[in-house]
A = this chain, B = another copy of it.
Amino acid sequence: MPVAANGPSLARSYPLPATVVLGTQWGDEGKGKLVDLLSESIDVVARCQGGSNAGHTVVVNGVKYALHLLPTGILHPAVQAVIGNGVVVHLASLFEEVETLELQGVPNVAGRVHLSDRAHILCDYHQIADGLLEAERVAAAAGGVGGAIGTTKRGIGPCYASKMTRSNLRVGDLREFRSAQVPLRIRTALAELRLRFGAAGEAAVASYDVRAEVARCYQLARRCEPLTTDTFDYVNRVLESGQQSVLIEGANAAMLDIDFGTYPFVTSSNCTVGGCCTGLGVPARALGEVIGVVKAYTTRVGEGPFPTELYGEAGALLQRAGQEFGTTTQRPRRCGWLDTCLLRYTGRLNGLTQVCLTKLDVLGCFDTLRIGVAYRYRGKRLSSMPASLRALAECEVEFEELPGWRGVELGSVRCWSDLPAAAQAYVLRVQTLIGCPIVHVGVGAAREAIFLRS
């Protein structure tokens, strides 16, 4: 009798488990820079969730690269880039990003992208729906229920919702453009939008040219063909062989996770470690180091409770020093002290094995630093982050104070021993409070402004 006749037999061990990089707060922690650094010695870098609502910024030799759908690792010419099944892909945005990077001199971008045939396609009508839903929520808020979530209106939520009702197109369907009835499905989706949103839907769809969309979609389908891959098979093969290394690059962050974040002010995917498995098809056992990226203070975009938030001049100081302004909108991000209650929560959730602490340099703008160490709710200390936003909003934070290093510029520091004593003390105190080793420290936007502790 022959042995297992096709496919590799089920691998029992993973000689070189995948490294995972995740955001631990509300995003914008500087994950991009760490991934960029680690990618120097990585073969395959994969995205597993989210869409083009995510944005990493990496500065190389003064050139700023903006990544949205593509993993940051693509900036390294030897890296193969995977867009996993858990990602929702707006095809026009993807190809725009590919072109921009190629124009900026990144070699052979399109040739190194492996786009999952199981990834869901985000269409323009998802973006229209996103806008209409947010408008409804804003209107409802006037009537006293709900309110804006502050979505990026990139269509992420509606696309994942279509995935759930099992009415969405997947990348693989484009190979079967006619038999998968892509044109008919686009028309059906638009008809549903009109029904659901009435006059507002009618108005929003009026300028939508179905014929043009179908034609565009057909062109995009042809461009997709060479990128389309069974990424499940590809990534697992790499992990089973142990010949190449894999890095999984989380987008968004734990407090924006659909299950564990501050629902409903969250994104519609799992930005925590489980999302690596569901979004790529790699087993839990194939994951190795799980690195949490922690900004040395806290920021948040949009609505929702934020216990350690700083208002007035102190908040504005952090905004300026940290350049905490939205990349597309330039809206200032809300800023506050580091919250280690939150970090203990997201650390347990992800089973972090190490932390990369970023933007330490920014804290140089204060004489005295504060760290949130405990939540007090109705007189009692909480053992974990509450699920209820009302409870979270009512929490009082207990703070610790530490001396700052005001006036000392950290941007050119390149090793642990060159950090001022106060900065070292801050890092070590954070490490104790979150109970996880801080391995990397970031001190500036430049590619080289990051070093190992020790």
Q: Which residues of A are at the interface with B, using a C-beta cutoff of 8 A?
A: 1-12, 85-86, 117-118, 133, 140, 144-146, 149, 157-158, 160-167, 170, 172-173, 175-176, 179, 181, 184-185, 188, 192, 195-198, 230, 232-233, 236, 240, 258-260, 263-264, 266, 268, 270, 272-279, 281-287, 290, 340-341, 344-345, 347-353, 373-375, 381-384, 386-388, 390, 398, 400, 429, 432-436
Contact = CB atoms under 8 A, between A and B. Distances in A.
A6 B266 CA distance: 25
Contacts of A197: 195
Contacts of A145: 181, 184-185, 188
B164 A263 contact: no
Nearest to A351: B283
A373 B157 contact: no
B398 A5 contact: yes
Nearest to A383: B7
A94 B332 CA distance: 45
Contact of A344 (B7, B164, B166, B387): B7
Contacts of A284: 273-274, 276-277, 284-285, 287, 290, 351
Contacts of A167: 133, 146, 264
B278 A270 contact: yes
Contacts of A283: 273, 290, 348-351
User: Taking the full assembly, how many copies of this chain does it contain?
Assistant: 2
Given A5-B381, A349-B232, A387-B230, A435 B10 contact: yes
Contact of A258 (B163, B272, B349): B163
Nearest to A129: B165
Contact of A384 (B232, B274, B353, B432): B232
A434 B5 CA distance: 10
A284 B274 CA distance: 7
Contacts of A349: 232, 281, 283
Contact of A275 (B258, B274, B400): B274
A118 B260 contact: yes
A281 B195 CA distance: 37
Nearest to A184: B145
A351 B387 contact: no
A273 B263 contact: no
21 contacts: A4-B373, A5-B398, A5-B433, A6-B381, A7-B383, A10-B347, A118-B259, A145-B185, A145-B188, A157-B165, A161-B162, A161-B164, A166-B263, A192-B196, A232-B384, A260-B281, A274-B275, A274-B277, A284-B284, A284-B287, A285-B353
